[in-house]
Amino acid sequence: MSDARPARSPSPEFASAWELAGQIPGWLTRDQALALWDAALRVPRGGRIVEIGSHQGRSTAVLGEAARLAGASVVAVDPFVEGRLFGGPLTRKRFEDNVFHRAGLAEVVELIPEYSTVLRPTWNRPIALLYVDGKHDYWTFTDDLRWSEHLPPDAEVLVHDAFSSIGVTGGVAVRVLCGSRYTFLDRTGSLARFRLRRPTPRDRLRVLAQTPWFLRNVAVKVLLRLRLRPLTRLLSHRGPHDPY
Ligand SMILES: C[S@@+](CC[C@H](N)C(=O)[O-])C[C@H]1O[C@@H](n2cnc3c(N)ncnc32)[C@H](O)[C@@H]1O
């Protein structure tokens, strides 16, 4: 029982959106982009998608293009934190180049350069779809889940690294496995889809069943940091990057 989403053929519209988005540096895989795309297309006309953590705009470009087709809009929240990994103001400039100029999504995407945890307490606009890929520690992630207070019942919440980051997976264990608000639907790699609906005992078991996948991802990360990349092939991992 893997709960991995089955692969399927994407539409020409997705292929064209991914042709651009796939060139933007980031961590989202093509199959995960397709999961985001499908979720964005399910948003009702006039609905708002909130993305927490945008970096250079890889996922934003996918959500934005799907939102344009659906007649929806996207709010991208990212403070563009400084540092070697995320890059600070230069990353913001790249986001604006990629999303507003190259993808031409200025009419669809609104950028709010702020910490999600600072913005959340005063946020008062309805949200139709939430995508969480910001800071991956337990406290920030569980705070980010609270944005779902602005979603209607049965809406979707998508979370990147849900089963590949200790902080995020810890949050999933506490808020989803032990909570009563989110039902796990499926995952693409470690991008998980949840629905705002009380989980059944069976739904909780399906979250628990992701434990081997999570432990495998942690093992791959440890091996990569120990420079033991050849051993990661034993865990069916390819390439030098962390599993997402
Ligand atoms: C993994 S990257 C996002 C990748 C992006 N979704 C993509 O597809 O390329 C994480 C981003 O979260 C941002 N971030 C860190 N703390 C944040 C916070 N509290 N609120 C919103 N974004 C945050 C970082 O600046 C970084 O750009």
Rounded to whole angstroms, the Cα distance separating 99 from 108 reads: 10
In terms of DSSP H, where are the helices of the chain?
Answer: 12-21, 30-41, 58-70, 89-95, 116-119, 138-145, 166-172, 201-208, 211-225, 229-232
Q: Are 136 and 171 in contact (CB under 8 A)?
A: no
Q: Which residues pair with 115 in a beta bridge?
A: none
Q: Residue 130: phi, psi to the nearest 5?
A: -115, 130
* 1 CA to centre of ligand 1 in angstroms: 31
Q: Is the dihedral of CA 25, 75, 97, 86 positive or negative?
A: negative
Question: Is there an atom of ligand 1 within 6 Å of 55 CB?
Answer: yes
Distance 176 CA to ligand 1 centre (A): 22
Domain-wise residue ranges, the chain: 12-209
136 CA from centroid of ligand 1 (Å): 9
**Any atom of ligand 1 within 6 Å of the Cβ of 113:** no
CA angle 115, 76, 136 (to 5 degrees): 50
pLDDT surpasses 70 at 89: yes
- Is 90 exceeded by the pLDDT of residue 37? yes
- The pick from 20, 59, 86 for probing ligand 1's pocket by mutation, whose C-beta has the most ligand atoms within 8 angstroms, reads 86
Question: What single-letter DSSP state applies at residue 98?
Answer: I
Contact 75, 51 (CB under 8 A): yes
Residue 130 is predicted with a pLDDT of: 98
Residue 161 region, left (φ>0) first, then alpha (ψ -120 to 50), else beta? left
Q: Helix, strand or coil for residue 196?
A: strand
Q: Which amino acid is at 140?
A: T
pLDDT per residue as tens digits for the range 123-139: 999 999 999 999 999 99
144-188 confidence digits (pLDDT tens): 999 999 999 999 999 999 999 999 999 999 999 999 999 999 999
According to CATH, the topology of domain 12-209 is Rossmann fold (3.40.50)
pLDDT at 2 over 70: no
Average pLDDT over every residue of 7-27:
93
Q: 81 is written with which tokens?
A: 């934190």
Confirm if 183 and 198 have CB atoms less than 8 A apart.
yes
Radius of gyration of the chain (CA): 17
Q: Is the CB of 140 under 6 A from ligand 1?
A: yes
DSSP 8-state symbol, 206 = H
Q: Which residue has the higher pLDDT, 108 or 81?
A: 108
Cβ–ligand 1 contact at 165 (below 6 Å): no
Mean pLDDT confidence for 221-234: 91
Residue 26 CB–ligand 1 contact under 6 Å: yes
Residue 50: CB partners within 8 Å, gap ≥ 6? 74, 75, 77, 127, 129, 130, 131, 147, 150
- Beta bridge partners, 188, equal 191
